Each structure stands twice: as structure tokens, then as C-alpha cells.
Structure 1
Amino acid sequence: MTEHPTETATRPFGWTVHGDGRSIRPGGVVRPHERLSWPRTLGVGVQHVVAMFGATFTVPLITGFPPATTLFFSGLGTLIFLLITRNRVPSYLGSSFAFIAPVLAAKAGGDIAPALGGIVVAGALLAAVGLVVQAVGSRWIDALMPPVVTGAIVALIGLNLAPTAWHGGGEGGVRAQPVIAVLTLAAILLATVVFRGFLGRLSILLGVAVGWLVAALTSGLDPVATRRLADARWVGLPDFTAPTFSWHAIALIAPVVLVLMAENAGHVKAVAAMTGRNLDPEMGRAFLGDGLATAFAGAGGGSGTTTYAENIGVMAATRVYSTAAYWVAGAAAVLLGLSPKFGALIQTVPAGVLGGATTVLYGLIAVLGARIWIENRVDFHDPVNLMTAAVAVIIGAADYTLSAGDLSFNGIALGSAAAIVVYHVMRLVVRLREGRTAADG
């Protein structure tokens, strides 16, 4: 791919108007440095908000983080990302599912502050990686985490989270309200096949809405949560929480940086393929932007962020890659985060609804790992690839845990490390063996 000259080369925060804001060719591509007329840009921006909505809110509902605060930092993080990448990488930063399991493990007696400290450290590490990539290039990322490794890491996250869909980290999930959970799951599956286009992409959100309505009609809503909804103000600051730092929480959460690296690299390459541009020079800035966004979120009480595949789907459907639409989406998320009433509404979502939705979401994460293997044609006749995936996935799915004093490493951290170590050690042994065989010959 060749780099096309863009307006951003001289005016990083300005856009040319596609079609002069009036006439748009059917199917015409709107590139990152272009924008539609502002009314149309607002419409596309709102679509991006809706697309990220279901997944972004699921994470704080599971982890116990304030939903409004998470949404606020999600929008703020998106704006930071756009600034750092100089409007060249269209992306929305939503809540990362990779943080769920380590955050649940790191919460001490329900206190989210230690988990927030771990999120800050993970963000700082990703930002540091971004600076290194910007200085020396991104090829070493591909060498460190080839597709067999990244696929295994993504798959083991979904499998590691699977039990949470059943028990919700306690007495929640499908086990708490099985009928509502099944109805929610059925609504999601039906919405996926009944609706086409954009509505089909909102199947999770539609299923959650159906489950919520069923729970409301059958007295399945938490009365405490509904009272909070009635008492909540329409406008106000979200609940900010300062982080605390402990080695235990940091050890659990910091390895998530490996997942964030894989997700960001995949996002940049996907956008590059869709827009026909070489975005490898922006890889470091993407890491830096998401790292800073994650660190800011952890510093104030929000969930860690990552680039969102849901919004890639919107871009693919609309062929509008304008970063102006993402500025609209980020600003809208910040404004919604400033409504305590809105955050209280999200907290009324019942345990059974979450159980049904996460049954799908966690399964999709696991299958996405397999999709990475398939799309990159990973050769599982190669015993190195086969053993790498086998060992890492089981360590993550069984949630192997290693404790050493105050430090504790759970299945996601150990599985991610195992994927990298097993692959490179076995590959090194193969090369040494082949070199010795060649020398003997």
C-alpha cells in the first residue's frame, strides 16, 4: 500500500469537506482527513456511540465500576487517541474485556482502588511500548507475537471468563435468573439473524433491552437500583475514585498490556486495509494514545480501554472513515457520562440479563482467537504452533494461578506469558536442531 497525501500532513486537526457537504457519491469513501456535512457527521458519530454502547457498559456492570464514569473516560480516551494519532487512525476506545478477570481478582473486599492502580500501570506500560515502537518501528511486535500467539491469548481470555457468565463473580449471572438469562440470550440470537445491516450489529444491545423489559414486567429488577434511578440527578459529575497501588493488583493486571498491543496492532492493520493506506508509521502513536487513555481512566475510576472492533463494523458498513465522526462520538460519550440518571439506569440491568449477554460475548472472544488463526492461516501441522496454542489455552481456561508472597498471577497472565515463552523457546530449539543437522551433514 502507498501513503496518499492528506490534509493532516499540514493541518492535523482539520478536515476537507467530502462532496462539499452536499452531494455524496453512492458508496463513496470518506477518508480519515475528510468529513461529511456536519449534520451527516453527527449522524455517523451517533452510530459509533450506539455500536460501542453494549460492550462498553457490560464491563463496568461485571466488574462493579461506576458505568457513568467508565463512559466518561471512554469518550475522553477517544479524544486523547485522536489527538495523539493526529486524526490519522479512526477509532473509538471502549472498555476492554481483557481487564475483567484480573480486575475481579484484584478487587480487595470490593474496593476498586487497587484494581485502578493496576489499570494505570498497564496503561503506562502500553504508552511506553508506543514510544519504543515510534522510535524503532513495529516489526518487532509481529516477531514477538505472531498470529498463533495473539490468537491463543485472545481465545484464552474468552475461556477464562466463561465461568463468570454462569455465576457473575458471585451469586449473579445465569444462575441468579435463569429464565431471564435464556430470554435475553434468545433475543440476542434472533436479533442477529432477523435484522440486517446496522440493527443486526446491535443485537447485544437489543437483547439486553428485551431482557431488561422482561425483568421489569416480572418484578425482576433490583428495588435498590430502581430507587437510585428515581433519585439520581439528570446532570452532574460522575463518581471519581483515586487509585491505590499494590504489587498484587499490578501483577494481576499489568500483563493485559500484551492483549492491548495485539488489539491495537490488529485495529491499525484493519483500518489500513479498509482505507488503502500504510498506517504502520502510526502504530506507535496508536499504542501511546490507548496507553494514555487507559492510564487516565484508571486514575479517575474508569475501566481500561482498547480500540473497538464494533466501530470497525460501522466503518465497513458506511464506508465513512472520517475522524470527525469519532470526535462527535467521543464528545457524546463524555456528555452522557455527565448524567448520573443515565448511569443509574445502566445499574438497573439485572444479573440474569448480564448472564445471557455475557454467554454470547465471552464466547465471541474465544471464537475470535480461532478466527485470528484461520485468517492468518496458522499451520497447526507445525508442532510448535500446536503446542503453543494447546498449553496457553488450557492454562487460561482452567485459570491456573501462581502465588509468590504478596504477588499472584492468574490464568490470563500465565496463559499469555506461556504463549510467548513456549512459542519462542520451541522455535529456538528447532532452529538449533536444524543448524546442528545441517552442520553434521
Structure 2
Amino acid sequence: MKNYVDVEERLPIATTIPLSLQHLFAMVGATILVPIITGMSPSIALFCSGIGTLLYIICTKAKLPAYIGSSFAFIGPMLVASKNYGPEAMISGVMAAGMVYIIVAMIIKFCGIGWLNKALPPVVVGSIVIVIGLGLAGTAINWAGLNSSYMDASMVSVPRWAWITVAMVTLGVGILGSMYFKGFLAVIPILVAMITGYVTALALGVVPHSAMEAIAATKLFRLPPFMTPKFNLNAMMLMAPVSFVTLAEHIGHVYVTNNVVGRDFTKEPGLHRSILGDGVATMFAGFVGGPPNTTYGENIGVMAITRVYSVWVIGGAGVIAILLSFIGPVAAIIEHMPLPVMGGVSILLFGIIASSGFRIFVEDKIDFGKKKNLILSSVIIVIGIGGAAVKFKFNGADVEIAGVALATIVGIILNLILPDISATEKDTTVEDEFEAKEKAAKAI
């Protein structure tokens, strides 16, 4: 007798709803965190998450269970693009990122995946992931109030000790929850930390009265704040290359799902369909003013724990996310999340992003005794977090590539042009082979 729910199985509504809510809670903390950090509306992120998941299910012929949510990899480029070129220009970069996915999906369909593995080996992907996490570290410290020279407008009327206390309580609950929570709570420690931090902020007077009044005055039902993209080449050049990092992450998620479910989804429905679904979801998000999307490891974890793989359950979570995006008080509470709460949880989350880059090094047994690996990692990390930028003109317009995007491009180019073995390593290899032959001859 089987003890799991298979991909195509449809459960009764009364059973599906709580299982779908569990998936929603698993992803909601991270999904709403991305728009909060980047100055977007959490309700539009929930809406795009739900619609994106349904689009993904359609693209994969309802044969691959995966939930689509906001991508952390794009936070840095989104902040830069929004600040320098405006929010409407930034979401044109979101559409460019989605287009990269769609193009790659078409290439994989006809040419296979070997070229992508060659362009993005683990040492490149791991280094870029480290850049993504460390590049955001300063933002987390500022929000937590741990940088004495940083002063946000909302800090003026709040004692710094109260601000820091809220951040540390949030961080502490996030750490303890990740370590010690069991069962259902084990999949939502970040959400629990944010709720605890919010309550602490209320108790210490960190949440201003104006925020509470705004929440109370919000209508029960309201449309998410949709936004029309404004074409901007700079924003598109800034964000499009980051897609290659999330592509590597996406492929990893598919392989993990293969192991969890016990099927080879790269063959049916096919990896190209999975990547296409991610791209279509991200394109849609950019079209309506939402953040870039990606498949969520948190929801793969939920499937592994519950052994419920039904796409109907995943789709149900998407529908609930869409409904929540229209509930005004929910969006208002999230939009007025105190900055120290975000700071506390971001210290943990941004650190986890960087650490996952090191995890890639360990799991793939990257040999830093090889000069190529050492050079790739060194150059990518320094360019990525050192503030490097390249400016040039394209059709009379000024174009700038910086940060994660520049590090990704440089990493891919270096990886393709550098030989696997340096001259000195080649000489050492020849000497070792000669010595081995001599020892074998003497032994005979």
C-alpha cells in the first residue's frame, strides 16, 4: 500500500485546502520579503506568485509539482535599477530576465543542456550566489540599526536600543525556529520570526501610529497596485544576466524534485518546459509590475515532509495567494512591516544565501588547489561585491552593467576561455605520471 499522494492525484477539497495553506505558509515569508526589501507592494508579489504558479503548471502540462515565488537573486539589481532608472524601468528588467528563461528553454529543447553546464559549472554558480548574499549584507545591518552612522527617517522618533531589540528578537526567533521547530512550524520559522518581531515592535512603540491608522483605514478588498513597464536598456542589461544564476538554481530544484518524487522530470514533461514555465511566470510578473519569479526550495521541502506531490495541492496554494492579494488589511499589515523586523530576518536570510554558495563548493567538491577554480571564485566575488561597473554607449544611450550582472558575465567568459589545467599544473601532472611509471618499472 503506497504512503504518498502522486503528482496527478486529486484530493477532496476539505483535504486539499489545509495542504495548500501549508505550501502558502512555507513560501509566503520569503515571497513577501523580496517586494518589501525592494519597495514594491507585497500584494502584487502574492498575485504574481499565484498566477505564476498556475502558468507554470500549464507550461509543464500539470506533470511537475513546483511553486513559483519571488526570487532573492534579483534583489540587488532591482534596488539599483529602481534607484537609478525608476520602478517602471526596473520591471522592464524583470521582463528581460523572463525572456532569457524562454530563450534558454528553446535552446535546451533543440540542443540539450550540455552547453549550459559548461558555461555555468558549480564554481561559477557558487561564487555568484556568495556575491548575491554578501552584496546585501550592508543593507541588513543598516535596517537592524547596527550601523551607528546609518539613520533612516523612521528611526528619528525611536530609541536605537528599541530598534536593535526588535531586530535581535526577530533574528533570535528565526535562528531558534530553524534549529528547534518541529512539524508544521519547521517549514515556516521565518514567518514566525517576522510575526514575533512585529508584535515586539508594537510593544516597544517602534510601529508609528500613522502606520496603525493606515492599516485600520484600509478597505477589505482592493486591487494590487499594477504597474506598466517602461522600456529601459540599462535596467534590462543589469538584470538579464542574473537569470543564468537562477537558471542553475532552477535546474538544481528539478533534480531535487526528481529525488523526492521518484520520477525523472527532465524527460517528462522535460526540463525545457520547466524553464519555460519559470520564464512565462517572470514575464507575466514584469508585465503587471511584480518581482522576478523562481521555483521555491521551501515547497520542495514541504513535499518531502508530507509526501504529497499533487499539482492540485500546489495549484490550490496559488489560488489562495491570488485571493489574499486582494484582501486590503493583509497587504497593509505587510506593507507597514517595521524596518528592524526586516533587518533581523535579513541578517539570517542574506547570510543563508551567501552560505548556500559555500555549500555548492562543498557538495560539488570544488578543488581550490586548481588555479582555474581559485581564479574564477576570486575574480567573481571581488567584482561582485566591490562596486565594479562597466559603462558604454549603445545606439547613443548610456548603458551600465554592475554588481551581480557584471560578475556573472565575467565569470562565464573566464570559465570558457581559461584552460582547466594551468601550465605549472600540467608540468606537475607530467612529473607525477613519470614518477609513477618509474615506480611501476622498479616494482617489476
TM-score w.r.t. length of structure 2: 0.87
Contact 1:165–1:174 (8 Å) recurs in 2:
no
Q: Which residue of 2 aligns with 1:217?
A: 203
Q: CA deviation at 1:164?
A: 1.2
Contact 1:30–1:320 (8 Å) recurs in 2:
yes
Structure 2: which amino acid aligns with 1:268?
V
Q: Which residue of 1 aligns with 2:266?
A: 280
State the secondary structure of the residue aligned to 1:409: strand
Residues 288-327 of structure 1 aligned to structure 2 (within 5 Å): 288-327=276-315
Q: CA deviation at 1:200?
A: 2.2
Contact 1:31–1:322 (8 Å) recurs in 2:
yes
Distance 1:87 1:127 in 2: 18
Q: Which residue of 2 aligns with 1:341?
A: 329
> Which of 373, 376, 380 matches 2:361?
373
Contact 2:56–2:278 (8 Å) recurs in 1:
yes
Structure 2: which amino acid aligns with 1:205?
L
Q: Which residue of 2 aligns with 1:426?
A: 418
State the secondary structure of the residue aligned to 2:136: helix
Structure 1: which amino acid aligns with 2:69?
G
Q: CA deviation at 1:409?
A: 1.7
Does the alignment pair 1:105 with 2:77? no
Q: CA deviation at 1:174?
A: 12
Residues 65-84 of structure 1 aligned to structure 2 (within 5 Å): 65-84=40-59
Contact 1:121–1:250 (8 Å) recurs in 2:
yes
Distance 1:250 1:429 in 2: 35
Distance 1:182 1:36 in 2: 42
Output one character per residue of 1:273-305: Cα deviation in whole Å (capped at 9) or x when no partner. 222222223211111111111111111111110
State the secondary structure of the residue aligned to 1:255: helix
Distance 2:289 2:104 in 1: 23
Structure 2: which amino acid aligns with 1:290?
D
Of 202-211 and 103-112, deviating more is 103-112
Contact 1:159–1:396 (8 Å) recurs in 2:
no
Distance 1:373 1:292 in 2: 31
Does the alignment pair 1:47 with 2:22? yes
Of 291-300 and 218-227, deviating more is 218-227
Q: Which residue of 2 aligns with 1:206?
A: 192
Contact 2:109–2:272 (8 Å) recurs in 1:
yes
* RMSD of Structure 2 on Structure 1 (CA): 2.5
Shift in CA distance, 336/84, structure 1 to aligned 2, threshold 3 Å: same
Residues 394-433 of structure 1 aligned to structure 2 (within 5 Å): 394-405=382-393, 406-427=398-419, 430=422
Contact 2:190–2:345 (8 Å) recurs in 1:
yes
Of 334-343 and 403-412, deviating more is 403-412
Output one character per residue of 1:312-335: Cα deviation in whole Å (capped at 9) or x when no partner. 110111111111111101101011
Residues 4-153 of structure 1 aligned to structure 2 (within 5 Å): 28-108=3-83, 111-153=86-128
Say which one has the larger Rg.
Answer: 2
Q: Which residue of 1 aligns with 2:218?
A: 232
Contact 1:251–1:409 (8 Å) recurs in 2:
yes
Q: CA deviation at 1:29?
A: 2.4
Percentage of pairs with the same residue = 36
Q: Which residue of 2 aligns with 1:179?
A: 165
Contact 1:84–1:286 (8 Å) recurs in 2:
yes
Q: CA deviation at 1:60?
A: 0.6
Distance 1:337 1:174 in 2: 26
Does the alignment pair 1:167 with 2:153? no
Output one character per residue of 1:224-266: Cα deviation in whole Å (capped at 9) or x when no partner. 3322211111112111110101122112111121122112111
Shift in CA distance, 172/166, structure 1 to aligned 2, threshold 3 Å: farther
Shift in CA distance, 297/100, structure 1 to aligned 2, threshold 3 Å: same
Shift in CA distance, 403/114, structure 1 to aligned 2, threshold 3 Å: same
Structure 2: which amino acid aligns with 1:234?
L
Contact 1:173–1:351 (8 Å) recurs in 2:
no
> Which of 133, 144, 150 matches 1:158?
133
Shift in CA distance, 96/74, structure 1 to aligned 2, threshold 3 Å: same
Q: Which residue of 2 aligns with 1:196?
A: 182
Structure 2: which amino acid aligns with 1:332?
I
Q: List runs of 5+ in structure 2 lacking aligned partners.
A: 145-149, 435-444
Q: CA deviation at 1:111?
A: 3.5
State the secondary structure of the residue aligned to 1:403: strand
Q: List runs of 5+ in structure 1 lacking aligned partners.
A: 1-23
Q: Which residue of 1 aligns with 2:316?
A: 328
Q: CA deviation at 1:380?
A: 2.1
Contact 2:372–2:421 (8 Å) recurs in 1:
no
Q: Which residue of 1 aligns with 2:232?
A: 246
Distance 1:141 1:108 in 2: 32
Output one character per residue of 1:356-409: Cα deviation in whole Å (capped at 9) or x when no partner. 000000000011111112222222222212221122122223232223352222
Q: CA deviation at 1:422?
A: 2.1
Distance 2:368 2:7 in 1: 38
Shift in CA distance, 402/297, structure 1 to aligned 2, threshold 3 Å: same
Contact 2:102–2:276 (8 Å) recurs in 1:
yes
State the secondary structure of the residue aligned to 1:244: coil
